[in-house]
């Protein structure tokens, strides 16, 4: 009897431990190698990777079985290399040319900046026009950085999808305007992710999803207002962001898309370029970093 009880106890413990072990195994899967390419039509670039190559938009950029990428026309596409198990081992983001920012996105940026001007650095209550926009019944308010960006997108007439875990929704197959009608940083990330609209190449009008060092990768959300390529994968970003110290703030800093450590990809711009202190904060939040961008267009 004792032997039988020991076997039963062992069996029950095994049943509990096996499911617990599965997420750890899944989480340990090596993420794909990330390659970012900014090209002009006709340019070619060889990328290393063992597996089967595919381009999501062959009209934008093609790829050979050996991993040679050729830019074809203006736009953005993902090029993936999959192993025999169909796992993505190399993810290549390709931006070709310099497509103009859509007028609706320009309008959203103008709205957000106008809100910054009107606020005049005054603090907001937790229940304010941005939280009311998202949920008028949330009288106690909530962290409103995502609602601030959503308010600007909605004011510009950009269609907003309420889904944030759209597992059955197909990825949006082109660069049409897209935004997620959510306020939570995590739900915004999941909304863009579910429609395959996350990128590491910045553009004006993209959502910035920030992480906090040593904490969550979805800490804060902002809006890119301008992008200046500085070379070697570095961009100067200008932003407008709500709910930082209860205020709307504007920032200008350097984002290194190729930083060896993602949690160190924000740096200050050179002192001689800090020419508008009345507009921009040139020192960003110490323990924040750029996690990824939500593509509102491409």
Distance CA(113)–CA(276), nearest Å, equals 15
**Burial class, 96, CB count within 10 angstroms (exposed 0-12 / middle 13-18 / buried 19+):** buried
Instruction: Please provide the average confidence, as pLDDT, over all residues in the chain.
Output: 90
pTM: 0.86
- Rounded CA gap, 83 and 205, in Å? 34
Under the banding of pLDDT at 50, 70 and 90, the label for residue 165 is confident
Q: Span 247-268, mean pLDDT? A: 96
Whether residue 167 is predicted with pLDDT greater than 90 in this model: the reply is: no
Which pLDDT does position 8 carry in this prediction? 43
Per-residue pLDDT, 29: 67
Instruction: Give the model's pLDDT for residue 25.
Output: 27
pLDDT above 90: percentage of residues in the chain: 83
pLDDT range class, residue 27, cuts 50, 70, 90: very low
* Strand boundaries in 169-287, DSSP class E: 179-180, 198-199, 207-212, 220-231, 234-244, 247-256, 266-267
Which tokens hold the place of 81? 């290399």
Helix (H, G, I), strand (E, B) or coil at 150: helix
The larger pLDDT score, comparing residue 107 to residue 29, is at: 107
SS3 assignment, position 2: helix
pLDDT band at 19 (very low <50, low <70, confident <90, very high): very low
Structure tokens that stand for 217 in this block: 């990768």
Cβ 161 vs Cβ 177: under 8 Å? no
| pLDDT for res 6 | 44
Nearest to 44 by CA among 78, 67, 65: 67
For position 170, what pLDDT does the model report?
73
> With bands split at pLDDT 50, 70 and 90, how would you rate the model's confidence at 290?
very high
Contacts of 1 (CB under 8 A, 6+ apart): none
pLDDT greater than 80 at residue 146: yes
According to DSSP, the residues that pair with 80 across neighbouring strands are 54, 91
Q: Which residue has better confidence, 167 or 4?
A: 167
pLDDT value at 13 more than 90: no
Phi, psi of 85 (to 5 degrees): -90, 5
pLDDT surpasses 80 at 26 = no
Q: Residue holding tokens 């040319």?
A: 97
In the predicted structure, residue 2 carries a pLDDT above the cut 70: no
pLDDT over 70 at 106, yes or no: yes
State residue 24's pLDDT score.
32
Q: How would residue 218 be classed by pLDDT, with cut points 50, 70 and 90?
A: very high
Which DSSP symbol is given to 80? E
Angle between helices 103-119 and 145-155 (to 10 degrees): 130
- Cα–Cα distance measured from residue 70 to residue 58, given in angstroms and rounded to the nearest whole number: 9
Q: What is the mean pLDDT of residues 152-170?
A: 86
Structure-token match 């197909």, residue found? 170
CA 264/CA 252 separation, integer angstroms = 16
Whether 20 shows a pLDDT value over 50: the answer reads no
Report d(CA 223, CA 149) in Å as an integer: 6
């Amino acid at each position: 009897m004792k032997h039988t009880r020991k076997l039963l106890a062992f069996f029950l413990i095994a049943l509990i431990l096996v499911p617990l072990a599965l997420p750890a195994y899944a989480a340990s899967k090596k993420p794909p190698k990330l390659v970012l390419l900014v090209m002009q039509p006709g340019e070619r670039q060889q990328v290393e990777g063992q597996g089967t190559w595919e381009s999501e938009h062959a009209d934008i950029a093609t790829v050979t079985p050996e991993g040679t990428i050729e830019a074809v026309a203006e736009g953005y596409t993902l090029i993936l290399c999959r192993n025999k198990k169909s796992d993505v081992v190399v993810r290549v983001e390709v931006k070709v040319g310099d497509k103009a920012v859509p007028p609706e996105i320009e309008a959203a940026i103008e709205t957000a900046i106008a809100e910054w001007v009107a606020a005049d650095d005054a603090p907001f209550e937790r229940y304010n026009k941005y939280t009311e926009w998202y949920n008028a019944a949330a009288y106690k308010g909530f962290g409103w950085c995502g609602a601030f960006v959503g308010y600007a997108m909605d004011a510009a007439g950009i269609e907003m999808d309420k889904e944030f875990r759209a597992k059955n929704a197909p990825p949006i197959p082109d660069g049409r305007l897209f935004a997620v009608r959510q306020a939570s940083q995590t739900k915004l990330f999941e909304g863009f992710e579910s429609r395959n609209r996350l990128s590491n190449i910045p553009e004006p009008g993209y959502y910035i999803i920030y992480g906090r060092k040593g904490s969550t990768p979805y800490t804060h959300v902002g809006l890119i207002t301008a992008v200046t390529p500085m070379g070697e994968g570095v961009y100067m970003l200008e932003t407008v962001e709500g709910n930082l110290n209860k205020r709307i703030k504007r920032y200008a800093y350097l984002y290194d898309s190729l930083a060896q450590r993602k949690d160190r990809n924000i740096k200050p711009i050179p002192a001689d370029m800090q020419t508008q202190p009345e507009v921009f904060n040139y020192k960003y939040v110490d323990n924040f970093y750029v996690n990824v961008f939500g593509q509102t267009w491409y």
